[in-house]
Amino acid sequence: MVRRFLYVVAALIVLGLAAAFAYRLWGVEMIRMAMVPGESFRAQSAIGPDAYRDDRMWLARPALKGNPALWTPAGYRARQQPGGAAVFFLHPTSYLNRAHWNAPLDDREANERAALFLRAQASAFNEAGEIWAPRYRQATFGAFLTDKAAAEQALRLAYGDVLAAFDAFLAEAGPTRPIILAGHSQGALHLTRLLKDRVAGTPLAKRVVAAYVVGWPVSLVTDIGRMGLPACTAPDQRGCVLSWQSFAEPADPTLIREVYDRSTGFDGRPRRGTPMLCTNPLTGTMGGAAPATANLGTLFPNKDLSGATITPGRVPARCDDRGLLLIGSPPDVGPYTLPGNNYHVYDYSLFWANVRADAARRMAAQVTGK
pLDDT digits (tens, 9 = 90+) for 94-145: 988 888 989 999 999 999 989 988 999 999 999 999 999 999 999 998 888 7
pLDDT digits (tens, 9 = 90+) for 62-92: 999 999 999 999 999 999 999 999 999 999 9
Determine the structural domain holding residue 283 and report its residue range.
10-368
**Residue 209 main-chain phi, psi, to 5 deg:** -70, -50
Residue 123: half-sphere exposure toward Cβ, Cα within 13 Å = 28
pLDDT digits (tens, 9 = 90+) for 322-358: 999 999 999 988 777 888 899 998 999 999 999 999 9
Please give the Cα distance from 107 to 154 (Å, whole number): 16
Count of all residues that appear for the chain in the document: 370
Q: Are 86 and 363 in contact (CB under 8 A)?
A: no
Q: Are 222 and 265 in contact (CB under 8 A)?
A: yes
> Does residue 15 fall inside a structural domain?
yes
> Does residue 176 fall inside a structural domain?
yes
Full DSSP string of 87-146: EEEE-------SS-SB--TT-HHHHHHHHHHHHHTGGGGTTTEEEEEE---PBPGGGGG-
Residue 315 scores a pLDDT above 60 = yes
Q: How many domains does the chain have?
A: 1
Residue 305 φ/ψ region, left for φ over 0, alpha for ψ in the -120 to 50 degree band, beta for the rest: left
Q: Could you tell me whether strands 325-326 and 317-319 are parallel, antiparallel, or unpaired per DSSP bridges?
A: antiparallel
> Does residue 5 fall inside a structural domain?
no
> Does residue 3 fall inside a structural domain?
no
Residue 326 φ/ψ region, left for φ over 0, alpha for ψ in the -120 to 50 degree band, beta for the rest: beta
> Does residue 2 fall inside a structural domain?
no
**Residue 341 main-chain phi, psi, to 5 deg:** 60, 35
> Does residue 290 fall inside a structural domain?
yes
Q: Name the 3-class secondary structure at 219.
A: strand
Please give the Cα distance from 46 to 161 (Å, whole number): 7
Give the pLDDT of residue 284: 98
Instruction: Name the more confident of 256 and 163.
Output: 163
**Residue 86 main-chain phi, psi, to 5 deg:** -95, 115
Percent of the chain with pLDDT over 70: 89
Q: Could you tell me whether strands 208-214 and 240-242 are parallel, antiparallel, or unpaired per DSSP bridges?
A: parallel
Q: Which of 232, 219, 221, 152 is nearest to 192 (CA)?
A: 219
> Does residue 156 fall inside a structural domain?
yes
CA dihedral over 101, 102, 108, 110, signed as positive or negative = positive
> Does residue 1 fall inside a structural domain?
no
